[in-house]
Structure 1
């Protein structure tokens, strides 16, 4: 299958935004975070670049930034968000009908980058889909040539306004719980998904994150061994969505 162009293969003229199940990644821009073999194992959620993630099929990106526009995960830093934008633009230039949800937030404990909304609009303006609830019922073809839904989640500065090029935080929701226990995360994800309305009735994106997080009271603090525990739950979660009658509520499914 053509993962790079899977939306195109499904038919942009008939595929509506609220009919898509979006594969995503968690802490997407951490492939080069920290110092290799020293601090990187404690924060690296992804081993592929943003471009490679998009090429292999991911369509929802989770980017955390600090005040100087560098991507971060907690206190650990990596490259500038410019690298993320460049990778996204490269992917867009090589495809025609692939839509990407780009979530960028100020990381907890950090300040918002100054004038970051203007930066995003300048960098991605020609690709940005305006904040408009009518988008959820539109087909991909109706949105083209715009192909990026950019959700900007600042901590202190004002949220994007309706009609602007950026989307406010309320349009991308989830119910995150901090645990390293796969079964606990699985049941929490299933419970909260069951509380949602069907996708066709929603005017926001809802994300399920099939991830676990290292805990201070557990001797295993590196990311990969902990997240590997929940990987086998992915297919089971999707199959259980059908088994429990929740398939019409599943919209974004993200993983480490």
Structure 2
């Protein structure tokens, strides 16, 4: 009982820290007033001849394919991190997808399964067929505790075919206009199978890095994200993508184990985080920004900073 009281006090204090920081700092940063007119085609609304891969602020989703995971009202609330389908997330503006698979090519989150990876890839291809200039980073990893799907690299290459942007360090310096009509950077992270090599259609795990901080305390996650981001080289010199996740996750020592009410503790502070990147001199490190339950304002916050970069405002 004493542990629960202490945890509630810690949580209350951490919530207050973010509220106070938001009130004292605000959430406006260079270009933050910009809003894309069409989120489905937001890259196409920017100057594609200036828009280099390294300078994009990529809005992403965490545990992207969990909209139908588990049993509704039973196990789903404990594992669902997105309520929208893959296609709907892309239309909303997401451009980085985080997909976990197991040996039978079904998407999973821990021990819970959902639909086949075919559903993900078909919805990605549907979106690509309806747009012309949008580039996607598709991260697919074998979930912890599972084996790699057999010959999965061949399967991904066959399914995505001509859309794939091959693994090449020079891609970071290229503009979207130079890469088109190629549209997908697919990062494949197997547990035991051979990793993709330079020149392959797929990208190896070292090209998408992050520092996962497993906590349900919002200020702890917020400050840890800033610390680890500050440890990274600027995007101008990096040859890998770095992701910051604007999420907190349920913990076993807390009675609230459903994802939505826990992650809501930090969800609304995405713009504050970007503002703090400027305040602390690390805005030039930002690249991939991911969230649970992606919404329009989160996308707009990322697109606004992207627009500011290519227009020389930062």
TM-score bin, normalised by smaller chain? over 0.9
Match of 2:87 in 1: 51
* 1:217 counterpart = 2:248: no
State which of 66, 73, 83 in structure 1 corresponds to 2:109: 73
Q: Which moved more, 1:233-242 or 1:112-121?
A: 233-242
Give the structure with the higher percent helix.
2
Provide the secondary structure at the position in 1 that maps to 2:63: coil
1:178 is aligned, of 196, 214, 221, to 214
Superimposed CA distance per residue, residues 12-53 of structure 1 (whole angstroms, 9 cap, x where no aligned partner)? 222111111000000000000000011000000000000000
After TM superposition, the score normalised by the length of structure 2 is: 0.81
User: Which residue in the other structure is 1:84 paired with?
Assistant: 120
Q: Which protein, 1 or 2, shows the higher relative CO under an 8 Å CA cutoff with sep ≥ 6?
A: 2
Which residue of structure 2 aligns with residue 25 of structure 1?
61
**The one of 141, 145, 155 aligned to 1:119:** 155
Q: Which residue of 2 aligns with 1:3?
A: 39
What is the DSSP-based 3-state SS (H/G/I as helix, E as strand, rest coil) of the residue aligned with 1:77?
A: strand
Distance 1:213 1:34 in 2: 17
| Cα drift, residue 145 of structure 1 | 0.7
1:99 aligns with 2:135: yes
SS at match of 1:199: coil
Residues 202-241 of structure 1 aligned to structure 2 (within 5 Å): 202-241=238-277
Aligned partner (choices 16, 20, 34) of residue 52 of structure 2: 16
1:34 aligns with 2:70: yes
Superimposed CA distance per residue, residues 94-123 of structure 1 (whole angstroms, 9 cap, x where no aligned partner): 000100000000001111000000000000
Q: CA shift at 1:169, angstroms?
A: 0.1
Written as runs of structure 1 = structure 2, the 5 A alignment for 1:133-144 is 133-144=169-180
Q: Distance in 2 between matches of 1:218 and 1:157?
A: 37
Q: What's the CA shift string for 1:165-196, capped at 9, x where partnerless?
A: 00000000000011010111001100000011
The number of equivalent residue pairs is 256
Q: Residues 41-91 of structure 1, C-alpha deviation per residue, up to 9 Å, x if partnerless?
A: 000000000000000100000000000000000000100000000000000
Q: CA deviation at 1:227?
A: 0.6
Aligned residue for 2:97, secondary structure, equals strand
Alpha-carbon distance, 1:232 to partner? 2.2
Q: 2:164 aligns with which of 106, 128, 136?
A: 128
Whole-angstrom distance in 2 between the partners of 1:129 and 1:65: 22
Deviation at 1:220, TM superposition (A): 0.4
- CA displacement at 1:243 relative to structure 2: 1.1
Show the counterpart of 1:150. Answer: 186
Matching residue of 2:236: 200
Structure 1 segments of 4 or more deviating over 4 A? none
Secondary structure (helix, strand or coil) at the match of 1:134 reads helix
- C-alpha distance after superposition, 1:186-211 (max 9, x if no partner): 01100000011110100000000011
RMSD: 0.6
CA distance in 1, matches of 2:279, 2:104: 46
